Chains A and B, each alone.
Chain A
């Protein structure tokens, strides 16, 4: 299992779940957890769900990815309240998360993952 985990945060639960599905196939050795939508299943982001995704992730060092602005802000608040080391990347959601997952699963080290994420920064 990779020591670094991945947390996904999206406005829509199916979107988070879909990206999770995409990543799990390529990265069986990475702990990936996700949060999508509000607690009522509407479009939005849930602080509690994101906090849970961070806590339930098997890793203590987490790389996190989000789709739109407010999922980022909610993630930042969850990071403020969490004891884990969670890093947030302003990269394209799908490509960024997919890149990190495949590299981590292939045994790449942290620096290499960061290096590969750089060109994907879009926001």
Chain B
């Protein structure tokens, strides 16, 4: 069940993780992209934190929508419209039913795929969202699921996004968007204990 309070707390934990790993995310992106993912995400989550503090939210759907807007307008890279889309569609689903968290995350994934057209196996954030949601739906989500999903992006060859221009050279390192997405789910799990 999402509430205004636990949604805010979850997103603030996500923000802390991104902030703490900003350099790491940019380093990963400099291997297979243009080295800006950490800065992009840091800019986005800073705007998100401000929005969470200053904007009124009467239900969790509002919280998610405010987060969507902030990420969308401040991230700047491809991950902006992708996270923006994810949060917007999670917000729509939360409006319908805030009690079904799996369905909310599932809506977020379909938002990402609607926007970016990536399938699992293309070395993107989808490679974390997809297995994590599957595990969540069967009640088996642990931190290991998340870590394994991130690790599994290493041998993949990128066929979507900027990294796809590298072809074979994109093999061997983690996907930065998969890593930033793992923080979102780890932050979620931490609120579950």
* A residues whose Cβ falls under 8 Å from a Cβ of B: 38-40, 42-48, 69-70, 73-74, 76-77, 80
Say yes or no: B78 contacts A70, CB within 8 Å. yes
Q: Give min CB distance, A75 to chain B, whole Å.
A: 8
**B115 contacts which of A38, A46, A76 (Cβ < 8 Å)?**
A76
Say yes or no: B73 contacts A47, CB within 8 Å. yes
Q: Give min CB distance, A122 to chain B, whole Å.
A: 15
For A76, the chain B residues whose CB sits under 8 A away are: 81, 115
Say yes or no: A73 contacts B81, CB within 8 Å. yes
Would you give 23 A-B contacts (Cβ < 8 Å), ordered by A? A39-B76, A40-B76, A42-B76, A43-B34, A44-B36, A44-B77, A45-B80, A45-B81, A46-B76, A47-B80, A47-B84, A48-B73, A70-B77, A70-B78, A70-B80, A70-B81, A73-B80, A73-B115, A74-B80, A76-B81, A77-B72, A77-B84, A77-B115
Closest B residue, CB atoms, query A43: B34
CA distance A80 to B111 in the complex (A): 12
For B121, the chain A residues whose CB sits under 8 A away are: none
Closest B residue, CB atoms, query A77: B81
For A45, the chain B residues whose CB sits under 8 A away are: 76-77, 80-81
For A80, the chain B residues whose CB sits under 8 A away are: 88
For B161, the chain A residues whose CB sits under 8 A away are: 69-70
**A47 contacts which of B34, B72, B78, B115 (Cβ < 8 Å)?**
B72
Interface assignment of B85: CB less than 8 Å from any CB of chain A:
yes
Q: Give min CB distance, A39 to chain B, whole Å.
A: 7
CA distance A70 to B164 in the complex (A): 13
For A48, the chain B residues whose CB sits under 8 A away are: 73
For B82, the chain A residues whose CB sits under 8 A away are: 73
